[in-house]
A and B are shown apart, each in its own frame.
Chain A
Amino acid sequence: MSLQHYLVISSILFSLGIFAVLTRKNAISILMGIELILNSCNLNFVAFSRFITPAESIVGSEVFRFDGQIIAIFGIVLAAAEAAVFLAIILAIYREFGSIRPDEVDTLKG
């Protein structure tokens, strides 16, 4: 399993996420798409930190390869926060407009 395997998987996930975000007519589906994108990013982080080890993270004989993982953990936390806020906003919008279709929420239309 080379690095490129992981990269290909993550780019497919990413594209699918983008697709969902672009085309879906339900805000929650869009959220799912965003989750896909975030997952692909995390996968990338971990993969890169596994395969590419910068020189400065080798101290003595020990090799540190955890940076990517920790960033991924932070990413997961962010995803959680984002999901919470997103859903709260969706609820508020739903109360206000009675719908969560993004094309119906166009108060900012010029």
Chain B
Amino acid sequence: MEFTLKTFIFYGFALSTIASALAVVTVRNIVHAAFALMVTLFGVAGLYVFLQADFLAATQVIVYVGGILVLILFGVMMTSGRLEMRIHIERGQLLLGAGISFALLMLLLTVIANTPIWKNLTDDGTPLSPTTERIGQLILNEKFLLPFEVVSVLLLVALIGAALISRKEVRE
């Protein structure tokens, strides 16, 4: 594997993603954690670009960073009342959690390493652009039309539900 600029950037993205994700789960200040999550999401968006999924990358940035993250920050504000909020972790639980997640990671890595057909699949570099047009066709015209509609209804229901649950109870 040659070490080109592209590779370099790829590793950069990969490492920043992992590092920030680590920060998300370890940092005690929840607001900091949220900012770390933002970096993670950007990192994943970058990885999408490497996978020739430019539309997806853009979506990732817009929806996740612009929407969900803001939502999370709102949540933080409304539940704590102040921006810094210490996160206490019990030691036993921490260790057990770490153990289980580590075990899971190891398992996954073993699977990845030991699955023969996944070995040595390298990117052939075929351009997929224009992805946006194709995705648009697929979603609105071809085989994903129905799932799309279903998902849109789901989203609507979720929004109404969320609004219903979070509103103040009106006592009669």
Contact = CB atoms under 8 A, between A and B. Distances in A.
Q: Judge A-B direct contact (beta carbons within 8 Å).
A: yes
B79 A91 contact: yes
Interface SS of chain A:
helix
Contact of A9 (B18, B123, B128): B18
A90 to B, nearest CB: 6
Q: Which of B59, B75, B76, B151 has the most CB of A within 10 A?
A: B75
Interface residues of A, number: 68
A81 B158 contact: yes
Interface in B92-141: 93-94, 96-98, 100-102, 104-105, 108-109, 112-113, 117-123, 126, 128, 131, 134-135, 138-139
Contact of B10 (A1, A28, A70, A89): A1
B37 to A, nearest CB: 5
Given A1-B123, A69-B131, A89-B165, A46 B53 contact: yes
Contacts of A18: 97, 100-101, 104
A88 B163 contact: yes
B50 to A, nearest CB: 6
B132 to A, nearest CB: 10
B123 A51 contact: yes
Given A15-B102, A81-B158, A6 B47 contact: yes
Given A12-B18, A39-B40, A85-B158, 7 more contacts: A4-B119, A19-B101, A26-B85, A26-B87, A70-B138, A84-B71, A87-B75
Interface of B: 7, 10, 14, 17-18, 21-22, 24-25, 30, 33-34, 37, 40-41, 44, 47-48, 50-53, 55-56, 59-60, 63-64, 67-68, 71-72, 74-76, 78-79, 85, 87-90, 93-94, 96-98, 100-102, 104-105, 108-109, 112-113, 117-123, 126, 128, 131, 134-135, 138-139, 144, 147-148, 151, 154-155, 158-159, 161-163, 165-166, 168
Contacts of A73: 56, 59, 135, 139
